[in-house]
Amino acid sequence: MHGNDPLRDWADIRLFLAILDRGSLVGAAEHLGLTQPTVGRRLSAMENRFGTPLFVRAGRRMQLTDAGKAILDSARRMETEMLAIERNLQAQSTALRGEVTISATEGTGVEWLTPVLRDFHREHPEIVLNVQIESRAVDLIHREADIALRLGQPEQPELIARRLVTVGFGLYASRAYLENAPPLHSPDDLAAHQRVGLRTPGNRENLFESFPFPEPLPGRYTYVSNSPTAQMAAVKAGFGIGLLSHRWATMAGRLIRVLPEYNAASIDLWLVTHEELRYSARIRTTFDFIAERARADAELFARGGPGPDADSKTVKTTATARRKARR
């Protein structure tokens, strides 16, 4: 290594780990809020001080050299300590001002959370709300967010998690689709229907459902997307029948629930933060506000009501839908 201090500060370690975790200079630059040339220059300078390359390019990804692997464990320990320092400093804040980053999925974050946070903003105008829409579970331990709304109970012991509500799901379609669709009396009748599917993270099979089922629901998929918003738009446009949350279908409007006696799926919604951040006044206040409003809307999440009249009448047959359309 060249010089007496090849690893000058925490910024070097942060850069090193960002390149490793994101897999490229471009990804690291986006994560750190820098330009790609800046990341490249800082990496070159760090490697010059070490006197050896830390990364080698393998296709589109950056992979560790032996020298990079040799410092990885130490770098992770330094990262853990620095993040602990940042959290401890954050926790000392008693002022209701500054930024709070909240992670949520598309449906919850856009259609429900954002309007709810308008009321919070009226009460706490100096808190900046940074809502990150993510399909993945963000890493709260590494401060990718301060608070997260998650479907399913988190398992990390370092996190504080509060169960909020149960989110219910059902089968929905547009009136236009049902007017010309085959009869629908039972789940077996779905085999004659068009379906709208969602490609969830990690799902590489041809099972385009929001949740895994013991046996896939029948039907011919005519539209599949990795975006819940696009899935909702396709159902409203009349592509076919989709599995949607009762809350979202109700708030979206103009949808009809089919096979109402069929219990499609349900999962608990949790609110999560790091245990050391619960002492930060602005994070604790935001956390408690979201929890209170979610519980007030428990019926909306579970069964789609009370809420706006979304035309979410329930039907068992196409004839029923046609009679409603003529009224």
Q: Is the dihedral of CA 267, 268, 274, 277 positive or negative?
A: positive
Handedness of CA 39, 45, 50, 52 (dihedral sign): positive
Residue type at 224 in one-letter notation: V
Separation between Cα atoms, residue 190 and residue 90, nearest integer Å: 52
Q: What's the token pair of residue 110?
A: 């856009």
* Per-residue pLDDT tens digits of the chain, which is 327 residues long: 444 445 557 788 889 999 999 999 999 998 888 899 999 998 998 888 888 999 998 878 899 999 889 889 888 888 888 877 776 666 566 778 889 999 999 889 999 999 999 999 999 999 999 999 988 877 777 778 899 998 888 877 778 899 999 999 999 999 999 999 999 999 999 999 999 998 876 554 444 555 555 467 889 999 999 899 999 999 999 999 999 999 999 998 889 999 998 888 889 999 999 876 667 888 999 999 999 999 999 999 999 986 443 344 444 433 344 434 444
Chain centroid to Cα 219, Å, comes to 27
How many other CB atoms are found less than 10 A from the CB of residue 260? 14
Say if residue 305 is exposed, middle or buried (CB neighbours under 10 Å; 0-12, 13-18, 19+): middle
Q: Is 53 left (phi over 0), alpha (psi -120 to 50) or beta?
A: beta
Pairing of strands 194-198, 241-245: parallel
- Say which CATH topology domain 97-327 has: D-Maltodextrin-Binding Protein; domain 2 (3.40.190)
Q: Which is it for strands 61-64 and 55-58: parallel, antiparallel or unpaired? A: antiparallel
List where CATH 1.10.10.10 sits in the chain: 10-91
* Predicted TM-score of the model (pTM): 0.66
Residue type, 190: L
Helix (H, G, I), strand (E, B) or coil at 149: strand
Tokens of 94: 């008693």
Task: Give the CATH fold of the 10-91 domain.
Answer: Arc Repressor Mutant, subunit A (1.10.10)
**Residue range(s) of every CATH 3.40.190.290 domain in the chain:** 97-327
Task: State the DSSP H helix or E strand holding residue 185, giving kind and residue range, or none if neither.
Answer: none
Q: 101 pairs with which residues across the strands?
A: 130
Hey, CA dihedral for 150, 153, 157, 163, is it positive or negative?
positive
Q: How far apart are CA 148 and CA 132, in angstroms?
A: 9
Q: What is the pLDDT of residue 152?
A: 87
Per-residue pLDDT at 85: 75
265-274 and 127-133: which strand pairing? unpaired
